Amino acid sequence: MVSTVGVVYVVGVTVLFFFWVYGIYAFARDLRHRYLPAIRAYLEQRRDDAEATRAEEEREEREQQLY
Amino acid sequence: MGDVKLEHVTKRYADVTAVDDMNLDIRDGEFVTLVGPSGCGKSTTLETIAGLTIPTEGTITIADREVTNLPPKDRGIAMVFQNIALFPHMDVYDNISFGLRLRDFDKEEIERRVERATEILQIQGMLDRMPEEMSGGQRQRVAIGRAIVREPEVFLMDEPLANLDAKLRVHMRTELQRLHKELDTTIIYVTHDQAEAMTMSDRIAVLNEGQLQQIAAPLTCYNEPANRFVAGFIGSPSMNFLEGELTADGITTDDFAVEFDVAALDGYGPGDDVTLGVRPEDVHLEENADELAHPTTPFPAQNDVIEPMGDEIFVYLIVHDLEGGGQEGAVTERDPDEQVLMSVDPDADVEMDARVQIVFDRSRLHLFDTRTGDAITHGLVQPASGVDQRAQGAESEGDD
């Protein structure tokens, strides 16, 4: 005999299971499409900035040789 | 010996070729100006000479020593930059002597050189001033002083007057000429201002799209441009260009013809597309044709826009399709390619929309290949005889 409590329990667990699974899926998706690219872009930007600073310092040092 | 030689110098940045197979031979004590529009490669060329940029290909020789890959300090050069770049926390004396102190010169030598430089530049009383207390012109003089004390074999100047106002720029132009006379050192100067190039230089090198178009004395570039680019770039206002075709008797355009001996042109003949170049000062009203030794046949034009400049008047003329236009004032076309700019005396009687007859000074006409832009001949007095005809034309004028 299926009781009302049982039905509510099964439906509740199913709903919770869905959101739990969706949460894992959404996190994996965000990690792949948002967080990792953002981290990669940040590191690249930092590398480019360092490179630009180094090039600028080198250029400045070379220019000062002409003073 | 401050001679500078660039052989097949090329500088590429990824897909862009900033300098393309540049060959320059600059003699000791010469004042050479690299001139051209923005992005033509003049600053990059200067930077390769300075050692701020290493060329992708080619060699650079300064004072008979190859310096292509040497750092700037080992090239025996000094450079003055557009942004002046004085140290804000140092006074004038420290700024000028910076390079010498860096190279461990003794104090007496530094003082001697600074004193000489300040004397040349007339800034003796300003040695304890800070840069912020000086005008733009004074700051630029300090920057030049910093270069002078190095006593280099070659001075490089990258648009040093660009940040100064017009009046000061004209003044500094004469100062730089005086400086060159006094120091007698090689100066390589970069500017996009053709007035600076024309007035200061022994020779000017005209650049476009990374390529050297012509290197010659300023007046040679003006009177005998190597191609249409040089003809259009040198001279203000710019040369008029009128496209036409060679016939057996001369050149014919949609609106007029100029007769000359086409057979004398080397490699060109009837049917070839050519462009006639004429400077505004070589376009004359018919009533003044008597003053010319070699006027063309008069042809009609209509005054469009008149610009009084004080010492002269610029008249924009419409020459195209006047016959079909009918009555005076009826021409409505305003295509700039079909306009001819004429420069006349300030007291000339010119009226807006008036129909006039104009003539060109044949001895001052230029002929270019429409396809390549190369100069074919300068001066179309009879008989035509190649690109050095100007001299012959001048002689025959003298005979008259």
State mean pLDDT over B288-313. Answer: 90
Instruction: Identify the closest residue of chain A to B94 by CA–CA distance.
Output: A67
B31 and B162 inside one domain = yes
Shortest distance between the Cα of A60 and any Cα of chain B, in A, equals 9
pLDDT at B169 over 80: yes
State mean pLDDT over B105-121. Answer: 90
B290 and B165 inside one domain = no
B304 and B269 inside one domain = yes
State mean pLDDT over B382-399. Answer: 42
Test A66 with B71 for CB contact under 8 angstroms.
no
The CATH number for B259's domain is: 2.40.50.140
B111 and B131 inside one domain = yes
Percent of chain B scoring above 70 in pLDDT: 91
Residues 6 or more apart from B285 whose CB is under 8 A from it?
B342, B344, B348, B356, B357, B358, B359
Per-chain mean pLDDT for chain B: 87
The residue among B48, B73, B155 with the most chain A CBs within 10 A of its CB, best to mutate, is B73
Shortest distance between the Cα of B157 and any Cα of chain A, in A, equals 11
| pLDDT of the residue at B381 | 76
B164 and B78 inside one domain = yes
What gap in Å lies between CA B153 and CA B203, rounded to an integer? Answer: 18
CB pairs A-B closer than 8 Å: 34
Test B52 with A67 for CB contact under 8 angstroms.
no
pLDDT at B325 over 60: no
pLDDT at B400 over 70: no
Percent of chain B scoring above 90 in pLDDT: 60
Among B198, B232, B266, the domain boundary falls at B232
B97 and B210 inside one domain = yes
Test B72 with A59 for CB contact under 8 angstroms.
no
pLDDT at B397 over 80: no
Where does the pLDDT of residue A58 fall: very low under 50, low under 70, confident under 90, or very high at 90 and above?
A: very high
B251 and B184 inside one domain = no
State mean pLDDT over B331-351. Answer: 77
B226 and B242 inside one domain = no
Say how many domains are in chain B. 2
B172 and B320 inside one domain = no
B193 and B130 inside one domain = yes
B221 and B308 inside one domain = no
B109 and B205 inside one domain = yes
| pLDDT of the residue at B17 | 94
| pLDDT of the residue at B382 | 63
Test B79 with A63 for CB contact under 8 angstroms.
yes
Test B79 with A59 for CB contact under 8 angstroms.
no
- Is there a contact between B333 and B323 (Cβ–Cβ < 8 Å)? no
The CATH number for B37's domain is: 3.40.50.300
Please give the model's pTM, rounded to 2 decimal places.
0.82
Chain B positions touching A65 (Cβ under 8 A) are 51, 71-73
State mean pLDDT over B132-161. Answer: 90
| pLDDT of the residue at B124 | 84
| pLDDT of the residue at B337 | 62
pLDDT at A37 over 90: yes
- Is there a contact between B41 and B190 (Cβ–Cβ < 8 Å)? no
* Nearest Cβ partner for A63 among B52, B147, B150: B52
Using DSSP's 3-state secondary structure scheme, residue B163 falls into: coil
Test A67 with B146 for CB contact under 8 angstroms.
yes
State mean pLDDT over B17-30. Answer: 95
Cβ neighbours of B313 (radius 10 Å): 17
State mean pLDDT over A23-36. Answer: 97
Per residue in B51-108, pLDDT tens?
999 999 999 999 999 999 999 999 989 999 988 889 999 999 999 999 899 888 999 9
Among B232, B248, B272, the domain boundary falls at B232
Interface pTM, i.e. ipTM: 0.71
Instruction: Identify the closest residue of chain A to B157 by CA–CA distance.
Output: A66
**Residue range of the domain that includes B49:** 4-232
State mean pLDDT over B293-304. Answer: 89
| pLDDT of the residue at B120 | 83
State mean pLDDT over B250-263. Answer: 88
Where does the pLDDT of residue B48 fall: very low under 50, low under 70, confident under 90, or very high at 90 and above?
A: very high
Chain B positions touching A64 (Cβ under 8 A) are 98, 102
